């Protein structure tokens, strides 16, 4: 990750920053850290899921990697690979800036596609899980191409509980959306290998 030379005292100060590019940054200890591009495999899986959910729910409620989610801890923001918004009202709140603030209701569901490498695995399975849990996001999917599993977590009484770890042709059930007509096999076939 490339570090940008900026220091911010607050998240609000960061939100007013514009560098004139399409780069995504995480705010870590007051400094901007550029988010590297996704791998082709991750982008293919996330794109497949985006299209599937957009057809199921309508494209306005489904957001890709560009949605920013304010969280507590470090970094202060995350960019989930896929986010399902709660309602048309939440869509309207994001019209000016694609950032879900702490003062707003959390999205309905977030999906992370695990990148290769131990640090990335720990980030998705531990760090992001704790931050998303703290935000009270009702459902979190961890899509793991290396293990070819989809871990479905549901927020219950302030913590994530593992509902299922889906492999192969088992159907994925979403506690928030019901049957989503997806299997792990379909998701991992989207990576093109």
For residue 1, pLDDT over 70 is answered with no
Enter the CATH code of domain 37-189.
3.90.1570.10
Exposure of 189 in the CB half-sphere (CA atoms within 13 A): 7
DSSP code of 168? T
SS3 label, residue 70 = strand
pLDDT at 192: 77
Every domain of the chain with CATH number 3.90.1570.10 lies at 37-189
pLDDT per position as a tens digit, 78-88:
999 999 999 99
Closest CA to 152 of 133, 137, 173: 173
SS3 label, residue 150 = strand
State mean pLDDT over 11-24. Answer: 90
pLDDT at 51: 97
pLDDT per position as a tens digit, 50-88:
999 999 999 999 999 999 999 999 999 999 999 999 999
The angle formed by the CA atoms of residues 136, 139 and 142, to the nearest 5 degrees, is 115
SS3 label, residue 46 = helix
* Whether the predicted model's global pTM rises above the 0.85 cut: yes
Mark residue 79 as left, alpha or beta (left: phi above 0; alpha: psi -120 to 50; beta: remaining): beta
pLDDT at 193: 56
pLDDT per position as a tens digit, 116-173:
889 889 999 999 999 999 999 999 999 999 999 999 999 999 999 999 999 999 999 9
Query: Over the Cα atoms of the chain, what is R_g?
Result: 16
Question: Would you list the DSSP string of 95-134?
Answer: SS-SEE-TTSPPPSEEEEEPPSSHHHHHIIIIIHHHHHHH
Q: What is the mean pLDDT of the chain?
A: 93
Question: To 10 degrees, the CA torsion angle through 12, 138, 49, 118?
Answer: 80
For residue 4, pLDDT over 70 is answered with no
Tokens read off for 27? 């705010």
Tokens read off for 89? 């009202």
Is the Cβ–Cβ distance between 32 and 25 less than 8 Å? yes
pLDDT at 3: 47
For residues 128 and 75, what is the distance between their CA atoms, to the nearest angstrom?
Answer: 10
């Amino acid at each position: 990750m490339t570090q940008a030379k900026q220091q911010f005292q607050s998240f609000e100060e960061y939100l007013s920053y514009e560098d004139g590019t399409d780069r995504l940054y995480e705010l870590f200890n007051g400094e901007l850290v550029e988010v590297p591009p996704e791998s082709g495999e991750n982008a293919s899986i996330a794109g497949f899921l985006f299209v599937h959910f957009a057809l199921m729910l309508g494209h306005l409620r489904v957001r890709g990697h560009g949605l920013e989610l304010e969280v507590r801890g470090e970094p202060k923001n995350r960019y989930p690979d896929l986010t399902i918004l709660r309602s048309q009202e939440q869509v309207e709140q994001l019209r000016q800036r694609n950032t879900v603030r702490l003062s707003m209701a959390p999205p309905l569901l977030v999906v992370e596609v695990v990148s290769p490498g131990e640090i990335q695995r720990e980030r998705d399975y531990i760090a992001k899980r704790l931050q998303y849990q703290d935000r009270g996001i009702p459902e979190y999917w961890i899509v793991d191409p290396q293990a070819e599993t989809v871990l479905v977590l549901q927020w219950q009484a302030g913590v994530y509980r593992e509902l299922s770890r889906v492999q192969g042709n088992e159907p994925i059930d979403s506690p928030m959306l019901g049957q989503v007509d997806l299997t792990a096999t379909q998701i991992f076939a989207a990576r093109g290998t």
